[in-house]
Amino acid sequence: MNIVEGVLNHNRLALAKAITAVENEYDNAVEIMTALYPHTGNAYVIGITGPPGAGKSTLTDKLAKEFRKRGKTVGIIAVDPTSPFSGGAILGDRIRMLDLSSDEGIFVRSMATRGSLGGLSQKAGDAVKLMDAFGFDIIIIETVGVGQSEVDIVKTADTTMVVVIPGMGDDIQAIKAGILEIGDLFTINKADREGTDKLNIEIEMMLELNPEHVSWRPPINRTIASKGEGIEAVVDSIEDHQKYLTESGEIVKIRKARIKNEVTAMLNDKVNRYIDKNVVSTDEFDALVEKLQARDIEPYSVVNDIVGKVLK
């Protein structure tokens, strides 16, 4: 099977194989991405993040169904953490999205974080592009808002939605740590629980303090995802945000920044690998380290020398 042609012809198996190739860094991955890149840039990307168990997958399931009602096809990438002990993972997001599998307009892919620092955002970014080339109108990425690399992924979306829930103790502290700033919209899920009003007020206060929100004020929606309540309003808010980005021209800036980030990450990655292979893993380098340890030389000129040679 030709994977590239398959993806362009809406072959689901080809899409699945293409994502695996990228994820596992198979030999044909670069070839696939190179051929498909010109066919990307059409999908609208939504990032969903929030604390563990907030209902992100349940929400994603319901949002996907609502988008389908509105005539859009939906690709979903659901990221779950790899166990640092075994390198294995249990990817459980699909449990909440089972009935999506009978709809040809939806494709769900589970992805593990797999330890590689930064590598995750690159691979998830490539998976987004593959779904984009396949032709999905909307692509949703779900990640747990804990690690930096997880947050990095959703940050690059067109619209980033932060999901919070009442009753997490000191509610706002939990979301303050890095994910509040990135929300284009907020969804208070499990609004059937006590503390919803209080949490709503707290988020509003936080948003007041944030000077960045001058032209777009992040809306706060309430949902009971498990019952499908409040979903339409969330999709309305996403569409409002999309409209705002398009009309203000912000979308062009966001996407330019995304490409810049991506290419920078690719460059860094390539250089890192090159240095790892050609410098760090050499006997010569070992010898340098020994000299450094004996204080025969100092590291500053060593680094300058090596960089001079590598970048020539």
Partner 1 sequence: MSNIRVLVAKPGLDGHDRGAKVVARALRDAGFEVIYTGIRLTPEQIAEAALQDDVKVVALSLLSGAHNTLFPKVVELLKEKGLNDVLVIGGGVIPDADIPGLKAAGIAEVFTPGTPTSAIVDFINANVK
Ligand X SMILES: Nc1nc2c(ncn2[C@@H]2O[C@H](COP(=O)(O)OP(=O)(O)OP(=O)(O)O)[C@@H](O)[C@H]2O)c(=O)[nH]1
Stretch that binds Mg ion, among 36-44, 89-97, 250-258, 299-307 (CB under 5 A): 89-97
Q: Out of 5, 31, 99, 192, which residue is the one contacting ligand X (CB under 6 A)?
A: 192
Q: At which residue do the structure tokens 């696939």 appear?
A: 32
Interaction between residue 189 and Mg ion (CB under 5 A) = no
- Rg (C-alpha) for the chain, rounded Å, is 22
Interaction between residue 234 and ligand X (CB under 6 A) = no
Q: Out of 108, 140, 163, 245, which residue is the one contacting partner 1 (CB under 8 A)?
A: 108
DSSP state of 94: G
CA 125 to chain CA mean position, Å: 7
SS3 for 283?
Answer: helix
Q: How far apart are CA 96 and CA 281, in angstroms?
A: 45
The tokens for 174 are 């939990």
Interaction between residue 168 and partner 1 (CB under 8 A) = no
Interaction between residue 107 and partner 1 (CB under 8 A) = yes
Q: How far apart are CA 306 and CA 299, in angstroms?
A: 10
Stretch that binds Mg ion, among 3-11, 53-61, 187-195, 286-294 (CB under 5 A): 53-61
Stretch that binds partner 1, among 11-19, 33-41, 43-51, 170-178 (CB under 8 A): 11-19
Q: Out of 9, 25, 37, 53, which residue is the one contacting ligand X (CB under 6 A)?
A: 53
Interaction between residue 109 and partner 1 (CB under 8 A) = yes
Q: Out of 52, 115, 167, 299, which residue is the one contacting ligand X (CB under 6 A)?
A: 52
Q: Out of 23, 93, 126, 171, which residue is the one contacting ligand X (CB under 6 A)?
A: 93
Interaction between residue 144 and ligand X (CB under 6 A) = yes
Q: How far is the CB of 59 from ligand X (least distance, A)?
A: 7
Q: Out of 52, 53, 92, 299, which residue is the one contacting partner 1 (CB under 8 A)?
A: 92
Residue 147 near residue 119 (C-beta atoms within 8 A) = no
Q: Which of 153, 200, 206 is nearest to 177 (CA)?
A: 206
Measure Cα distances from 42 to 17, 129, 194, 250 in Å: 21, 9, 41, 16
Measure Cα distances from 36 to 31, 148, 191, 250 in Å: 9, 28, 42, 25
Interaction between residue 226 and ligand X (CB under 6 A) = yes
Burial of 2 (0-12, 13-18, 19+ CB in 10 A): exposed
Q: Out of 20, 28, 40, 242, which residue is the one contacting partner 1 (CB under 8 A)?
A: 20
Which stretch of DSSP H or E encloses residue 76? strand 74-80
Q: How far apart are CA 110 and CA 79, in angstroms?
A: 6
Q: How far is the CB of 163 from ligand X (least distance, A)?
A: 7
**Of 98 and 307, CB closest to partner 1:** 98
**Furthest-apart CA atoms within the chain: distance in Å:** 71
Question: Of partner 1, Mg ion, ligand X, none, which one does residue 46 interact with (CB within 5 to 8 Å by kind)?
Answer: none
Interaction between residue 282 and partner 1 (CB under 8 A) = no
The residues that touch partner 1, with contacts defined as CB under 8 A, are 12-13, 16-17, 19-20, 24-26, 82-83, 85-92, 94-95, 98-99, 101-102, 107-110, 112, 114, 116
